[in-house]
Amino acid sequence: MTWLPRDFVHPVSVGIPDGGGHRLRPIGGADAPLDYPAVMGSRERLWSIYGKAWGWPSATMTYEANQADLERHAAEIDAHESFNYTVENADGTALRGCVYVDPPEKAGADAEISWWVVDGEVGGQLERALDAFVPRWIAEEWPFERPRFVGRDLTWDEWLALPGR
């Protein structure tokens, strides 16, 4: 059984209806100059979200390790194994967060989706727009019947307690 239909074409550029011109696009190694400061600038909060589940981002993550991670994400996107989208500002000069669309690790879903914004966007217009937009985008553009929005539909601790697939 494959995760996605063979003929599925993943979105490559998606406008976020936030009034600020932010966009989603697949991430890659060339995004490290923007991704690394965004991640490390929000590292403590991101660790509180993803640390238990993913061990990310570590306090000692180097720029080179981050770039290698982004290159791995790009290869996974090309292979349709997993998708990591950068949330970038209108002119592409700042990374403001990420959206992950992953195959399920836990029983009961056909995809696991999560997202984050940098500390400066928490509680703001961009985060509110993503919270409304991402579930709608997944329903309209992706071929999933039972997506799970980890950190939204259930907490990360509840997700960790679920049985594996």
**23 located within any domain:** yes
Is 163 within the bounds of a domain?
A: no
Q: What is the pLDDT of residues 110-160, one digit of tens each?
A: 999 999 999 999 999 999 999 999 999 999 999 999 999 999 999 999 999
Strands 95-102 and 147-149: unpaired
What does the pLDDT look like over 55-110, one tens digit per residue?
A: 999 999 999 999 999 999 999 999 999 999 999 999 999 999 999 999 999 999 99
Residue 85 belongs to domain with CATH number: 3.40.630.30
Q: Are 116 and 97 in contact (CB under 8 A)?
A: yes
Residue 136 lies in a domain: yes
Domain assignment of residue 1, yes or no: no
- The answer to whether position 7 is within a domain reads no
Q: Could you tell me the residue range of the domain that residue 128 belongs to?
A: 14-158
Nearest to 105 by CA among 154, 50, 159: 159
Residue 3 lies in a domain: no
**Which residues sit opposite 97 in a β-bridge?**
87, 117
pLDDT tens digits for 24-65?
Answer: 999 999 999 999 999 999 999 999 999 999 999 999 999 999
User: Residue 54 domain-assigned?
Assistant: yes
Domain count, the chain: 1
Query: Is 55 a domain residue?
Result: yes
Both structure tokens of 53:
């589940």
Amino acid sitting at position 151: G
